[in-house]
Amino acid sequence: MKVLVACEESQAVTKEFRRLGHNAFSCDVIDQSGGHPEWHIMQDVLPLLNGRCSFTTTDGVQHTITGRWDMIIAFVPCTKTSNAGARHLYKGGILNIPRYYEGLCGKALFLSVWAADCDKVVIENPTPSKVFDYPEPTQAIQPYHFGHPFTKKTLLWER
């Protein structure tokens, strides 16, 4: 499978797909910290989402994806859209317009990934603030579902 792991500098997911024999690439606007520059694309992900693209990995090698990606997994930034940061949206009861705008940009990236020409798309994010009106997630998971003693609801959008 050709797999694009969007907004992933750690390469944790990319390495697992590579270990399983897939042609996976991480993509982020910052350099990778996972130790594999040959699998990392350091650029905006938007031009890559529909496949049929060329890119250069951080080791300087040019690659071409002739068709669509078989799967996209995305960890789109949530700093400005997360419910945890909602208190920064209103200062003194007044909407913080610059913060709201940044949140709308975050939602636009989320929706661009969601609309990609790819049959298998998964996006991971925490609960977004209601003001941004995200689509309903496919599922919610908690660390305690996997034996950890913590709560931190994580949402998945899958298609």
Q: pLDDT digits over 96-118, tens only?
A: 999 999 999 999 999 999 999 99
User: Is pTM, for the whole model, over 0.85?
Assistant: yes
Q: What are phi and psi of 56, to 5 degrees?
A: -115, 125
Alpha carbon distances (Å) from 144 to 95, 150, 157: 35, 6, 20
Q: Using one digit for the tens of pLDDT, what is the confidence trace for 62-106?
A: 999 999 999 999 999 999 999 888 888 988 889 999 999 999 999
Q: What is the pLDDT of residue 93?
A: 86
For the ranges 24-33, 35-44, 71-80, 81-90, the lowest mean pLDDT is seen at 81-90
